[in-house]
C-alpha cells in the first residue's frame, strides 16, 4: 500500500538561503579579514627556508669556528649525509635568519620536538657569529616566535641551552622567558662541566611582552612578506 | 609615539629608558658608559632599545644599518647624540 504521508521528492537546485544565512555569511567575511599573515621579512631580519644548496655552506659554518663546539654538534663532525639528516630530525619549521639589507646569513632558527597533545615544542636558535652582539638575530628569533605561535596552538616553547650560551639574551629573564629547569654539571665542554638550562617562552607572555619586538619589525615592513 | 613633534628623545628620557631596559639604577647611565661592557646590555636588550627608539620615539637619525653596526663601542652619549631631536643641541 502506498504511504500517503511520504515526503515529497526533494526539489532540484540549491536550497533556499535564509536571511540568517546571509548574516552568518557576512560574519564569516568579517572574521576572515582578521586573518593575519605572519611576516617573514622585517626591516632588520628576514627568515627564509633552508634549501639543499645551503647545505655545504651551513655544514661548514656548523663544523668550524666557535659554533662547532658551542652549538648542537658540540665538536662532532658528522658526514655530509648524517649532517643533512640531523638538520631535520623532529623539525616542524626551520629558517635561515638573514640581515634584510645585506642578505648576509646570520643564524638558524627551528621548532622541533613538538608535543601536540600537551601543547609544547622546543626552540633552537643558533647564531653563526657568536661574538657579535648584533641584534638582527634577536629580530629573526622574534619573527620566528610569532610564526610558531601564529601557526600552531602551542602553549609554550622550551629552549635548552648550556649556561655558557645564556648571557647572549639573559636580559629577557622574567620578561620574555623563565628558567624552568636546571641540570647541574650536565654538559661537558671546554674542559669542564656546565649546567644545562631549560628556558620556557609562554604564548601569553610572548604576545603581551615580546610582540613589541616583532611589532616594530612588522609595522615598518618595506617590501612586504618573504 | 612618545616623542615630541619631529622625533627625538631628550637625555633624561633616554637615561630612564636605558635604565629600565637594563634594569639598572638610572644614576649608572652616564654619557661615557658603554652599553655592552659597562651597562651589561646583551643583544636582546639592544634589540629592545632599537625598537623603543625607532617605534616609540620615532627616531630617524640613527645610522641606517642598526642591525650590522658594531655595538661594542657605542656609548650612551653617542646614542644620545644620534637621537637628539632635530635642531636641538646635545
What CATH number is associated with residue B63?
A: 1.10.1200.10
Residue A224: inside a domain? no
Give me the domain span that covers residue A97. 40-219
Here the ipTM equals 0.84
Average model confidence (pLDDT) for chain B? 83
Cell numbers representing residue A208 in the block: 603581551
Identify the segments of chain B with pLDDT beneath 50: 88-90
Indicate yes or no: CB of B41 within 8 angstroms of CB of A171. Answer: yes
Query: How confident is the model at residue A73, as a pLDDT?
Result: 86
Residue B5: inside a domain? no
Angle in degrees, CA A198, A199, A205, rounded to 5: 155
Residue B33: inside a domain? yes
Residue A21: inside a domain? no
Name the band, by pLDDT with cuts 50, 70 and 90, for residue A153: very high
Name the 3-class secondary structure at B21. helix
Query: How confident is the model at residue B6, as a pLDDT?
Result: 53
Residue B2: inside a domain? no
Mean predicted confidence (pLDDT) in A36-62: 89
Whether the pLDDT of residue A219 is over 50: the answer is: no
Indicate yes or no: CB of B41 within 8 angstroms of CB of A133. Answer: yes
| pLDDT per position as a tens digit, A157-174 | 999 999 998 988 899 999
A104: closest chain B residue by CA: B68
Contact status of A169 with chain B (Cβ, < 8 Å): yes
Under 8 Å between Cβ of B3 and B83: no
Name the band, by pLDDT with cuts 50, 70 and 90, for residue A32: confident
Rounded Cα distance between A160 and A182, Å, is 10
Query: How confident is the model at residue A222, as a pLDDT?
Result: 35
Residue A188: inside a domain? yes
Domain count, chain A: 1
Helices assigned H by DSSP within chain A = 19-33, 55-62, 67-70, 80-87, 136-151, 203-205, 211-219
Residue A123: inside a domain? yes
Closest alpha carbon to B87 in B18, B16, B4, B17? B4
Residue A31: inside a domain? no
Residue A109: inside a domain? yes
Report chain B residues whose CB lies below 8 A from the CB of A101: 64-65, 67-68
Give me the domain span that covers residue B54. 11-82
Domain count, chain B: 1
Non-local (6+) Cβ contacts of A161 within 8 A are A196, A197, A199
Look up the CATH number of the domain holding residue A51: 3.40.630.30
Its pTM surpasses 0.90: no
Average model confidence (pLDDT) for chain A? 86
Residue A35: inside a domain? no
Number of Cα atoms under 13 Å in the Cβ half of residue A185: 3
B39: closest chain A residue by CA: A171
Report chain A residues whose CB lies below 8 A from the CB of B36: 133
Mean predicted confidence (pLDDT) in A45-72: 89
User: Which sign, positive or negative, has the C-alpha torsion B13, A211, A130, A189?
Assistant: positive
Percentage of chain A with pLDDT > 90?
A: 52
Query: How confident is the model at residue B61, as a pLDDT?
Result: 73
Residue B21: inside a domain? yes
Note the maximum CA span of chain B.
33
Torsions phi, psi for B12 (to 5 deg): -60, -45
Query: How confident is the model at residue B72, as a pLDDT?
Result: 87
Indicate yes or no: CB of B67 within 8 angstroms of CB of A45. Answer: yes
Name the band, by pLDDT with cuts 50, 70 and 90, for residue A30: confident
Rounded Cα distance between A55 and A73, Å, is 15
| pLDDT per position as a tens digit, A194-211 | 999 999 999 999 988 887
Amino acid at each position: 500500500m502506498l504511504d500517503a504521508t511520504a515526503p515529497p521528492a526533494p526539489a532540484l537546485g540549491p536550497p533556499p538561503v535564509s536571511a540568517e544565512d546571509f548574516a552568518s555569511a557576512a560574519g564569516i567575511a568579517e572574521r576572515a579579514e582578521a586573518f593575519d599573515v605572519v611576516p617573514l621579512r622585517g626591516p632588520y631580519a628576514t627568515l627564509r627556508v633552508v634549501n639543499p644548496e645551503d647545505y655545504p655552506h651551513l655544514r661548514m659554518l656548523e663544523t668550524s669556528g666557535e659554533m662547532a663546539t658551542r652549538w648542537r654538534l658540540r665538536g662532532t663532525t658528522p658526514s655530509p649525509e648524517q649532517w643533512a639528516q640531523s638538520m631535520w630530525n623532529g623539525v616542524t619549521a626551520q629558517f635561515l635568519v638573514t640581515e634584510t639589507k645585506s642578505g648576509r646569513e646570520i643564524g638558524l632558527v627551528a621548532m622541533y620536538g613538538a608535543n601536540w597533545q600537551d601543547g609544547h615544542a622546543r626552540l633552537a636558535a643558533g647564531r653563526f657569529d657568536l661574538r657579535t652582539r648584533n641584534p638582527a638575530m634577536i629580530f629573526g628569533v622574534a619573527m620566528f616566535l610569532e610564526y610558531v605561535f601564529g601557526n600552531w596552538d602551542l602553549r609554550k616553547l622550551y629552549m635548552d641551552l648550556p649556561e655558557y650560551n645564556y648571557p647572549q639574551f639573559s636580559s629577557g629573564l622574567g620578561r620574555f622567558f623563565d628558567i624552568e629547569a636546571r641540570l647541574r654539571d650536565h654538559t661537558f665542554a671546554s674542559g669542564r662541566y656546565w649546567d644545562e638550562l631549560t628556558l620556557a617562552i609562554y604564548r601569553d607572555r610572548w604576545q603581551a611582552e615580546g610582540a613589541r619586538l616583532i611589532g616594530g619589525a612588522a609595522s615598518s615592513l618595506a617590501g612586504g612578506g618573504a | 609615539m612618545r616623542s615630541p613633534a619631529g622625533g627625538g628623545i631628550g637625555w633624561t628620557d633616554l637615561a630612564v629608558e636605558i635604565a629600565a631596559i637594563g634594569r639598572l639604577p638610572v644614576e649608572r647611565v652616564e654619557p661615557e658608559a658603554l652599553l655592552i661592557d659597562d651597562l651589561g646590555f646583551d643583544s636582546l636588550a639592544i634589540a629592545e632599545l632599537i625598537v623603543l627608539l625607532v617605534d616609540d620615539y620615532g627616531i630617524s637619525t640613527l645610522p641606517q644599518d642598526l642591525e650590522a653596526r658594531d655595538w661594542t663601542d657605542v656609548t650612551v652619549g653617542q646614542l644620545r647624540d644620534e637621537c637628539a631631536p632635530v635642531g636641538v643641541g646635545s
